[in-house]
């Protein structure tokens, strides 16, 4: 095989006066001889590869270090709002500067507190939207949802939004010390302030281990959405099946109550004085609520002397018996 080296090039003019480069090829050389001369020695190649790998590693480490240092450094509030508002609201500005909302930038205060120009011109007063308790709750929530719509878009249609609660009921933006997610109290304590009747059930002898910290309210409930799992029926009982996986099937023979009414038709999910957190102390009383017409050969059974699950033990569903026998 032969290749040619270009020795010189002559510039010619075409028909339209455009210069054209026409190479002139001369003396052939052996291709294998050229390739041998053009290759670097193997030892030198290994050295260059090793240096390249080290350089790439140092570059990656530098990028990661810069990212960690940026994340560790608190976001600094820019000067415009911080200087203007900080002249009167020094504590609020200092607390805010260490919070995630400081990333909004120069308009960090005026992004939420509308009417700031008039407030400054008049030297203060009640002429600014300040998220006070007397301010409309819908307006306070809508201000937050301008940025948090992606995660909490259905808050206003949920039970908390309908009850005239707003974001500042549970969250604090300016406080120097807050809990995760800017909560005024911990996740469980925040719920306790309103739901005292529910928390009283966690003092009963059969309960979910909320006080021990094994789970929390938000393990089952989303406070920013409508309560679509109020009865936890049908496919909505996924909140229970996340932990109680063996009770969800699928089974060849399903128990209708668990598929239609849901887990809470038999169990009190917060706490109960009855075993297995049942809504009735007697299992027979619970079963006779639905199965009012028992077969003839059950006529001698009563709620006082009968435990239905002694025979119907696979009560959540079975692959063998359609009446859930052992």
List, for residues 298-316, the tens digit of each pLDDT value: 777 776 777 888 889 899 9
Q: Structure pTM? A: 0.62
pLDDT one-digit tens code per residue, 73-98:
433 444 467 778 888 888 888 888 87
Contact 128, 116 (CB under 8 A): yes
Point out the domain boundary residue: 184, 201, 226: 184
With respect to residue 142, please indicate whether it lies within any of the assigned structural domains.
yes
With respect to residue 313, please indicate whether it lies within any of the assigned structural domains.
yes
In this structure, the answer to whether residues 100 and 180 fall within a common structural domain is: yes
In this structure, the answer to whether residues 246 and 162 fall within a common structural domain is: no
Q: How many CA atoms lie within 13 A of 18 on its CB side?
A: 3
Instruction: State the pLDDT confidence band at 54, using cuts at 50, 70 and 90.
Output: confident
With respect to residue 213, please indicate whether it lies within any of the assigned structural domains.
no
Mean pLDDT of 94-106: 78
With respect to residue 54, please indicate whether it lies within any of the assigned structural domains.
no
Q: What is the mean pLDDT of the chain?
A: 77
With respect to residue 33, please indicate whether it lies within any of the assigned structural domains.
no
| Cα–Cα distance measured from residue 4 to residue 26, given in angstroms and rounded to the nearest whole number | 6
How many CB atoms are located within 10 Å of the residue 206 CB? 15
**Is 70 exceeded by the pLDDT of residue 106?**
no
Through-space distance between the first and last CA atoms of the chain, rounded to whole angstroms: 85
| Cα–Cα distance measured from residue 208 to residue 231, given in angstroms and rounded to the nearest whole number | 17
Residue 13 confidence (pLDDT): 44
With respect to residue 22, please indicate whether it lies within any of the assigned structural domains.
no
12 or 179, higher pLDDT: 179
**Is 80 exceeded by the pLDDT of residue 182?**
yes
With respect to residue 46, please indicate whether it lies within any of the assigned structural domains.
no
Residue 69 confidence (pLDDT): 52
Report how many domains make up the chain. 2
What's the domain range around 152? Answer: 89-115+129-184
With respect to residue 48, please indicate whether it lies within any of the assigned structural domains.
no
Contact 229, 294 (CB under 8 A): no
In this structure, the answer to whether residues 167 and 100 fall within a common structural domain is: yes
In this structure, the answer to whether residues 93 and 180 fall within a common structural domain is: yes
């Amino acid at each position: 095989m032969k290749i040619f080296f270009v020795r010189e090039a002559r510039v010619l003019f075409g028909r339209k006066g455009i210069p054209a480069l026409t190479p002139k090829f001369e003396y052939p050389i052996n291709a294998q001889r050229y390739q041998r001369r053009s290759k670097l020695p193997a030892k030198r190649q290994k050295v260059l590869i090793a240096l390249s790998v080290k350089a790439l590693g140092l570059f990656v480490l530098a990028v990661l270090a810069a990212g960690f240092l940026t994340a560790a450094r608190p976001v600094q509030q820019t000067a415009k709002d911080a200087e203007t508002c900080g002249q009167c609201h020094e504590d609020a500005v200092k607390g805010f500067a260490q919070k995630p909302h400081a990333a909004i930038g120069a308009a960090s205060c005026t992004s939420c507190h509308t009417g700031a120009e008039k407030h400054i011109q008049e030297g203060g007063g009640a002429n600014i939207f300040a998220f006070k308790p007397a301010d409309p709750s819908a307006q306070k929530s809508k201000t937050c949802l301008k940025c948090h719509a992606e995660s909490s878009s259905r808050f206003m249609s949920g039970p908390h939004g309908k009850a005239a609660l707003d974001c500042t009921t549970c969250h604090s933006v300016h406080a120097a010390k807050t809990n995760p997610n800017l909560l005024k109290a911990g996740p469980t304590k925040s719920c306790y302030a309103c739901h005292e009747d529910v928390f009283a059930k966690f003092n009963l002898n059969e309960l979910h281990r909320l006080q021990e910290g094994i789970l929390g309210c938000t393990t089952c409930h989303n406070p920013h959405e409508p309560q679509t799992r109020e009865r936890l029926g049908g496919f909505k009982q996924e909140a229970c099946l996340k932990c109680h996986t063996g009770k969800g099937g699928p089974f060849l023979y399903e128990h209708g109550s668990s598929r239609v009414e849901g887990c809470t038709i038999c169990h009190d999910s917060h706490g109960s004085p009855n075993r297995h957190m049942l809504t009735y102390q007697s299992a027979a009383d619970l079963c006779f609520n639905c199965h009012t017409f028992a077969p003839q050969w059950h006529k001698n059974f009563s709620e006082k002397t009968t435990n239905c699950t002694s025979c119907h033990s696979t009560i959540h569903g079975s692959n063998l018996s359609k009446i859930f026998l052992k």
